């Protein structure tokens, strides 16, 4: 994080917010919920703060530090004045859940954020060390022909800064969630899964166990919200944690992650689908069934066999994530995360060719009218995800499509190592440079 850039932003921010928000004044950003449980307060506050700061162009590292400091102060407050009164028709088990008035408690959080910004503007603190390895990330998502956009994604290179972790181990977190039956479950997972992960005692010594526990915890606390608010949605998800020289991936359902090393796709996972033999057996052992209704479905309903949410079909639709860990040796190119809207049209084995082709287009100063005017170490690769989404759409995908590339080496290095022109594959003739975008 550049101190001069951070100071400039703080100057602009305190000019817009020179004092705390007054009681009853509108919030500059809308809370995610009307009521929030104590378990949900951490994630929803951080999401609100990051959204507020990002909309004003805050450096990502500074945003993480500001939000972490403001949340720490919020949690030291007596929050009992914000408790919601229990409704007379609440179920007994629901009465045990303490709910807070979201708008009121988030006004307090934003005021804490403003207070921290004012203090740092006057006396800028020495920040904790920034990650020595900056991972460039290219993301693009489209609604495509679907009526609603139900995908969500998270890019968090500042994992340690956001949660105040100072153990000397660098961490970065990335995730893609593909909702169905509404976007609520996907929003919930994108808001809370990384928070749950940060609280796992096994995080430092066993990232796989920590990620699996975080998925399970997120599914469990979403159950309470779904019951309170009568939500019926679900979401698949794939999350990657890069911790030191380990890459750990955890997943539920058919969103996928692919690692590419020296231009070759490396299988990290086997997506959960109802017709996968072990998934079919698990469901049948529980007394459920798999039926074909346009596609294979669990008990004739959901086309996924594992997900966060979908509580009307638990335990047939399982909330237990699978996980794998890969040691990084330094010769890895990137890891790609995407929902099934991408992988239904693109085979994992096709990813290296498509990415290299897209990189060459992005890095070619004569790459056509859509090519960037200037190419630098910081810009090459940023448009790759957009091109991949366009290719999946051109190949016939009608679903929501989200693609995220996390470069483990600078994209310029990949171009230098593959300087010859990539020949077009017959199977990709339809995915030209002019593939339609949305």
Residue for token pair 């969630």: 177
**What are residue 179's DSSP bridge partners?**
235
Indicate if 112 and 173 belong to the same structural domain: no
Indicate if 113 and 146 belong to the same structural domain: no
pTM of the model: 0.90
| pLDDT, position 377 | 46
Q: In this structure, is residue 280 part of a structural domain?
A: no
Indicate if 103 and 190 belong to the same structural domain: no
Distance between CA 411 and CA 136 in Å, rounded? 9
Distance between CA 276 and CA 287 in Å, rounded? 17
Q: In this structure, is residue 378 part of a structural domain?
A: yes
Q: In this structure, is residue 293 part of a structural domain?
A: no
pLDDT > 80? residue 121: yes
| pLDDT, position 365 | 43
Indicate if 110 and 170 belong to the same structural domain: no
Is the Cβ–Cβ distance between 218 and 193 less than 8 Å? yes
- Ranking 21-35, 174-188, 256-270, 371-385 by mean pLDDT, the lowest is 371-385
The residue range of the domain holding 39 is 3-122
Q: In this structure, is residue 310 part of a structural domain?
A: no
Q: In this structure, is residue 27 part of a structural domain?
A: yes
Confidence class for position 438, pLDDT limits 50, 70, 90: very low
Indicate if 100 and 233 belong to the same structural domain: no
Is the Cβ–Cβ distance between 401 and 411 less than 8 Å? no
Which residue, 70, 95, 122, sits at the end of a domain? 122
Q: What average pLDDT does the chain have?
A: 89
* DSSP single-letter state for residue 272: -
Indicate if 46 and 113 belong to the same structural domain: yes
Length of the chain measured in residues:
438
Indicate if 233 and 381 belong to the same structural domain: yes
Give long-range contacts, CB 8 A cutoff, 24+ apart: 372-379.
377/410, 377/412, 378/136
| pLDDT, position 128 | 65
Q: Where does 295-422 show beta strands of DSSP type E?
A: 296-298, 308-309, 322-327, 332-338, 401-407
pLDDT > 60? residue 110: yes
Confidence class for position 85, pLDDT limits 50, 70, 90: confident
How many Cα atoms are found within 13 Å in the side-chain-facing hemisphere of 232?
5
| pLDDT, position 289 | 96
Looking at residues 26-52, what average pLDDT do you find? 96
Which residue, 122, 145, 162, sits at the end of a domain? 122
Indicate if 374 and 407 belong to the same structural domain: yes
| pLDDT, position 370 | 44
The pLDDT tens digits for 157-168 are 999 999 999 999
Confidence class for position 322, pLDDT limits 50, 70, 90: very high
User: Please, which residues have CB within 8 angstroms of residue 62's CB and are 6 or more apart in sequence?
Assistant: 1, 5, 6, 9, 10, 53, 127
Residue for token pair 């890895």: 332
Is the Cβ–Cβ distance between 135 and 155 less than 8 Å? no
Is the Cβ–Cβ distance between 151 and 179 less than 8 Å? yes
CA distances from 351 to 213, 262, 268, 412 (A): 30, 13, 14, 18
Indicate if 145 and 113 belong to the same structural domain: no
pLDDT > 70? residue 142: yes
CA distances from 294 to 11, 252, 302, 303 (A): 57, 22, 11, 10
Q: In this structure, is residue 211 part of a structural domain?
A: no
Is the Cβ–Cβ distance between 438 and 387 less than 8 Å? no
Indicate if 238 and 111 belong to the same structural domain: no
Q: In this structure, is residue 308 part of a structural domain?
A: no
Distance between CA 46 and CA 39 in Å, rounded? 13
Is the Cβ–Cβ distance between 137 and 404 less than 8 Å? yes
Share of the chain above pLDDT 70, in %: 87
Looking at residues 199-227, what average pLDDT do you find? 97
Distance between CA 273 and CA 340 in Å, rounded? 11
| pLDDT, position 24 | 85
As a 3-state breakdown, the chain gives helix, strand, coil percent values, each rounded to 5, of 40, 20, 40
Report the CATH number that the domain containing residue 333 is assigned in CATH: 3.60.40.10
Q: In this structure, is residue 367 part of a structural domain?
A: yes
Question: Please, where are the H alpha helices in 139-276?
Answer: 159-163, 184-198, 207-229
Quote the number of domains for the chain.
2
Give the H or E element holding residue 141: strand 137-142
**What are residue 326's DSSP bridge partners?**
247
Indicate if 104 and 171 belong to the same structural domain: no
Distance between CA 178 and CA 153 in Å, rounded? 9
Indicate if 247 and 374 belong to the same structural domain: yes
Which residue, 122, 147, 178, sits at the end of a domain? 122
Task: Residue 188: count other Cβ atoms within 10 Å of its Cβ.
Answer: 29
| pLDDT, position 436 | 33
Pairing of strands 35-37, 99-101: antiparallel
């Amino acid at each position: 994080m550049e101190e001069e850039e951070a100071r400039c932003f703080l100057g602009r921010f305190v000019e817009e917010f020179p004092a705390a928000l007054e009681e009853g004044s509108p919030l500059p950003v809308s809370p995610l919920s009307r009521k929030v449980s104590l378990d949900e307060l951490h994630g929803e506050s951080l999401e609100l703060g990051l959204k507020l700061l990002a909309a004003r162009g805050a450096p990502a590292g500074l945003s993480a530090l500001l939000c972490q400091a403001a949340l720490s102060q919020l949690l030291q407050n007596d929050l009992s004045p914000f408790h919601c009164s229990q409704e007379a028709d609440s179920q007994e088990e629901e009465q045990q859940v303490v709910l807070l008035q979201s708008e009121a408690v988030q006004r307090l959080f934003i005021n804490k954020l403003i207070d921290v910004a004012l203090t740092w503007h006057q006396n800028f603190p020495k920040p904790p060390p920034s990650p020595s390895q900056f991972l460039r990330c290219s993301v693009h998502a489209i609604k495509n022909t679907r009526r609603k956009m139900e995908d969500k994604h998270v890019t968090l290179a500042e994992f340690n800064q956001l949660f105040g972790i100072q153990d000397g181990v660098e961490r970065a977190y990335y995730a893609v969630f593909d909702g169905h039956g509404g976007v609520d479950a996907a929003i919930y997972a994108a808001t809370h899964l990384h928070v749950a992960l940060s609280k796992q005692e096994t995080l430092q010594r066993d990232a796989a166990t920590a990620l699996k526990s975080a998925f399970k915890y997120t599914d469990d606390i979403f159950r309470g919200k779904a019951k309170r608010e009568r939500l019926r949605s679900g979401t698949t998800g794939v999350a990657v944690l890069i911790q030191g020289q380990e890459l750990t991936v955890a997943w539920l359902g058919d969103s996928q992650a692919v690692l590419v090393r020296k231009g070759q796709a490396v299988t990290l996972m086997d997506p959960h689908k109802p017709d996968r033999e072990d998934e079919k057996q698990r469901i049948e052992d529980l007394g459920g069934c798999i039926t074909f209704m346009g596609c294979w479905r669990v008990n004739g309903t959901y086309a996924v066999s594992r997900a966060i949410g979908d509580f009307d079909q638990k335990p047939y639709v399982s909330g237990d994530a699978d996980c794998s860990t890969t040691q990084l040796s330094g010769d890895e190119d990137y890891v790609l995360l995407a929902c099934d809207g991408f992988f239904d049209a693109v085979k994992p084995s096709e990813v290296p060719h498509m990415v290299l082709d897209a990189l060459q287009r992005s890095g070619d100063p004569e790459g056509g009218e859509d090519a960037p005017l200037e190419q630098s170490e910081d810009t090459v690769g940023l448009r790759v995800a957009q091109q991949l989404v366009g290719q999946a759409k051109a190949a016939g995908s009608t679903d929501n499509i989200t693609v995220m590339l996390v470069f483990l080496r600078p994209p310029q290095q990949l171009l230098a190592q593959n300087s010859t022109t990539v020949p077009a594959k017959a199977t990709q003739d339809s995915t030209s440079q002019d593939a339609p975008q949305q």
